[in-house]
Amino acid sequence: MVWANQSGWATGTKLKFRWFRNGVRISDVWIGGYKTRSADCGKTVTVTVTGTKDGKLITKSGGTFKVRSRALSSPNQ
């Protein structure tokens, strides 16, 4: 399981998570955690977190992970 870092956001910020496999959005995942699947093997998984508060929108990109046999390697490898 991979988790997006949710720290550093102002209290009351509504977060939305988008996960990507080799740059293509994984359409059925919207939460802060992602359980790798067989389709992820040999691929790169990334996350983008968008926060909304008081009508303002902020987007942060997360780490990049190479998936090997449903077990993650170290970030940015």
pLDDT in tens, 49-73: 999 999 999 988 877 888 886 555 5
Which CATH number is 2-75's, of 2.60.40, 1.10.10, 2.40.10, 1.10.260?
A: 2.60.40
Handedness of CA 12, 64, 38, 23 (dihedral sign): positive
Measure the CA–CA gap between 74 and 68, rounded to whole angstroms: 10
The two three-digit tokens of residue 40, written as one number: 């992820």
Predicted confidence (pLDDT) at residue 3 exceeds the cutoff of 90: no
Note the pLDDT of residue 53. Answer: 92
Both structure tokens of 34:
């992602």
Tens digits of residue pLDDT in 17-61: 999 999 999 988 878 888 888 889 999 999 999 999 999 999 888
Q: What is the pTM of this model?
A: 0.76
Any idea which residue has 């902020």 for tokens? 58
Cα separation, 57 vs 35, in Å, equals 27
Judge whether 13 and 52 are in contact, CB under 8 Å: yes
pLDDT at 75 over 70: no
